Amino acid sequence: MGADGIVGADALRSQRVQFDFETKTMTIVPSAQADFRYEPGTIVVEARRKNGRLILTDAVANGQKVTVVLDTGSEICVGNEALRRRLMGRNLVDARQKVDLLSVTGQTISGDYMYVRELQMGGVSLQNLAVVFVDAHTFQQLKLQKTPSLLLGMNAIRAFKKVSIDFANRKFRVVVPEKAELDTRLAMRTRS
């Protein structure tokens, strides 16, 4: 994109992005380098790659199949209109709050801020996930505008203790916090 501080997905093809939320660190390392050591609560979800992005196809939102695109550049999860139509009447908490999202290129788009009661991705589950519904350009880029889809933003990713996104090996690895139950309140929060 040519902007300082922005790393595009194309630059990460043979890399792994690791987030350690306990130590508040993010690292980008070659995929061949050893991943986080195994810890109790580690879950690995297989993904596929499309246009340099990792996509989880084994995902369900409120009982409905959804395509999830990992998007560490998004502060909040973004769902497309096809997903909203699919979820309406299926426990989608419709707060009908309008919000404006600012893209890295400075464009503003308006969307509806709502909560998805449950998102399951492989063995990972998040409850009461804040999502802004808007047809963002990324859905068009990936030809997902008619497929119920969700960009999994940092508000969801921060719900875990550690996260590893391995682009070369197409794996999304998370370490669930040691608490008996995942603290999904973090998934609802956005940074102030």
Domain contains 158:
yes
Q: What digits encode the pLDDT tens for the residues 147-174?
A: 999 999 999 999 999 999 999 999 999 9
Largest interatomic CA distance in the chain: 45
Domain contains 14:
no
Residue 107: count of CB within 10 angstroms of its CB: 9
Domain contains 12:
no
Please report, for the domain that includes residue 97, its CATH number. 2.40.70.10
**Distance in angstroms (rounded) separating the CA atoms of residues 90 and 179:** 29
Q: Domain range for residue 150?
A: 19-188
Domain contains 11:
no
pTM of structure: 0.82
Share of residues in the chain with pLDDT > 70 (%): 80
- For tokens 């340099």, the residue is 52
**Distance in angstroms (rounded) separating the CA atoms of residues 70 and 45:** 12
Q: Do residues 174 and 43 make contact, with C-beta atoms less than 8 angstroms apart? A: yes
Domain contains 2:
no
Q: What is the count of structural domains for the chain?
A: 1
In three-state secondary structure terms, 63 is: coil
Domain contains 41:
yes
Domain contains 105:
yes
Torsion, Cα 137 139 143 149, to 10 degrees, reads -170
137 pLDDT more than 70: yes
Q: What digits encode the pLDDT tens for the residues 76-103?
A: 999 999 999 898 875 666 656 777 777 6
**Distance in angstroms (rounded) separating the CA atoms of residues 118 and 129:** 7
**Single-letter residue type at 192:** S
**Distance in angstroms (rounded) separating the CA atoms of residues 55 and 144:** 11
107-112-5 Cα angle (round to 5) = 35
